[in-house]
Chains A and B, each alone.
Chain A
Amino acid sequence: MSARKTVIAAFSLALTFAGLGVSHTQEEVRIVVTGSSTIAPLMMDIAQRYEAAHPGVQVDVQTGGSSRGLSDVRRKLADIGMVSRALGADENDVAATRIAWDGVALIVHAQNPLERLSDDQVRAIYTGQATRWEAFGSWDGPITVVSKAEGRSTLGIFLDYLDLDIRDIRAHTIIGDNEQAVKVVAGNPRAVGYISIGAAEYHASAMTPIRAIALGAVAPTSANVANGSYPVRRELNLVTYPDPAAPVEAFLRFASGQQVHDLISDHYFSPASD
């Protein structure tokens, strides 16, 4: 094929795409949801169910993190932001709808016989004062400390509970998502990390070699997260500007209602009681 023909072919292809776009009529209602990568897979399922029940409405779910969800709502790039933490006092320009709870627990490798760590012991591990497992009894070797990247809401909950500042943390591995923490700890018998209780429960049932350890005294189970007895938990929120448009409000009602509780449980979160 000659270069000229190929160039023409490429241009035609581009024009065809552009033409398809222009001819596409925009009579549908489109709701854009962006934010927390923790909530995004759940929201995708909720959106699919909502679209099936409401023809003519499209719910586009995007991801990128809680801070992004907030800033996209403020820049009007999104109708709804997903924020996997409680809103701060300086964030009262937006309204939050709580859809679920997510508990945070420590995880260690399944071979690690440790049953419990006190808050002070966790603090010692994460500030670099305790560097070997021998200090806590029946396990040995150097501790590999896994922490999350700045901006992750799990990190925020963890620091809040332990009353630490991010600059106090001395971690060997900084990771982003829950699944990444699971992969690191499952591959290293001397590692410790912290993740969503829902994700920990899933992996315990899927025989991944990790074990959840409570932060505090209450057992880390979704039931205890839902009834509020487990203290280290975060809210999964949908945020909008106050008085959203009617289709957005209808979707918010759907996403915070009974009819999606099975999806919330499927994603290993605890539905917020309404």
Chain B
Amino acid sequence: MHRNLRPFVNDLVVRAAVAAVVLVLAAIVMHVVTRGAALVSWDFLTTAPRAAGRAGGIAPVLVSTAAVTGVALAAALPLAVGAAVFLVEAVGPHTVAARLTRGCLGVLAAVPSIVFGLAGNMIFCDWLGFGFSILAGGLTLALMILPIAACVAETTLRMHGEDRRAGYALGLPQRRIVWSIMLPAAAPGIFAGLGLGFGRAVAESAALIFTSGYVVRMPDSVFDSGRTLAVHILDLAMNVPGGDGNAFATATVLLASVAAVVALFTALDGKQGRDFV
């Protein structure tokens, strides 16, 4: 290859990669939205499913989805931040404890979601006696998103090592350094990690069929079973003859809500929002 051509070719390769990413997303969105958008109406969002989901709307499904992901994020946040602070502050980066913790998180990240579902069913539904419930589903998802949230939180905390050393140089106590310097500085990254976790949680179906369950009634509390959007889409597409239309409509709503949440997480930290997701 002629030397002068190289920058041009490199440029082309990079542009092609970007185009591929955008095209794949665009193709999926187009496929779903063109078949689903026409069926989404105010009624669809505010009524309960009828005839196994072939008719009616998805109101209870939306509420359950918000509750399950809410529980998951609320439970994952302290665990992820705790693990990250432990790795950065309490132990050296190459100690046995640090390697063990990171190893465990790595293994947790590689566990297939159906295994999370079965384990969640055993631990939360059976042993702890929550039954099929939003709480059991949310806690199972919290375990699933823990590795990515902890990993991103740790990386962000380490990026602010200079602030940390400055704090120690000023003689601040460790508690104060963590709460007043490290965590505020790392907050955008921590939320970015949770945002990624949200994406995984809201798309999850295998882990939830056995934990938060399949019930489409409007939930009264987190101890009720509730079907999430992804489970609803799976059931309509796979088990209900004639469910395809509402499956696409539900998928359109799911895509729109993911976009809305990503926008929300971006807005949560104005200036550094560009770094997000």
Contacts and interface: CB of A to CB of B under 8 A. Distances in A.
Interface stretch (B162-170, B195-203, B210-218): B210-218
A51 B242 CA distance: 24
A267 B52 contact: yes
A3 B190 contact: yes
B53 interface: yes
A199 B241 CA distance: 6
Contacts of A198: 241
Contacts, number: 122
Given A3-B183, A11-B74, A20-B222, A179 B237 contact: yes
B171 to A, nearest CB: 22
B12 to A, nearest CB: 34
B135 A41 contact: no
A100 interface: no
A206 B243 CA distance: 12
Interface residues of B, number: 47
Interface size class on chain A is: 35 or more
A214 interface: no
B184 interface: yes
A62 B235 contact: no
B52 A44 contact: yes
A3 B135 CA distance: 25
Interface string B70-111: 110111011001000000000000000000000000000000
B214 A62 contact: yes
B223 A24 contact: yes
Contacts of B220: 20, 24
A77 to B, nearest CB: 6
Interface in B47-86: 50-53, 67, 70-71, 73-75, 77-78, 81
A1 B191 CA distance: 11
A4 B179 contact: yes
Interface string A127-142: 0000000000000000
The majority secondary structure among interface residues of chain A is helix
Given A40-B235, A199-B241, A61 B183 contact: no
B125 interface: yes
Interface of A: 1-4, 6-7, 10-11, 13-14, 17-18, 20-21, 23-24, 32, 34, 37-38, 40-42, 44-45, 48, 51, 58, 60-64, 68, 75, 77, 176-180, 198-199, 202-203, 206, 266-268
A-B pairs, top 5 by smallest CB distance, nearest first, are A41-B52, A14-B74, A202-B241, A21-B221, A3-B187
Given A17-B221, A40-B214, A44-B214, 18 more contacts: A1-B268, A4-B183, A7-B81, A10-B73, A17-B222, A20-B222, A23-B221, A37-B239, A40-B239, A62-B209, A62-B215, A63-B214, A63-B235, A64-B209, A75-B126, A176-B238, A178-B239, A178-B241
Interface of B: 50-53, 67, 70-71, 73-75, 77-78, 81, 125-126, 131-132, 135, 179, 183-184, 186-187, 190-191, 209-210, 213-217, 220-223, 225, 235, 237-243, 268-269
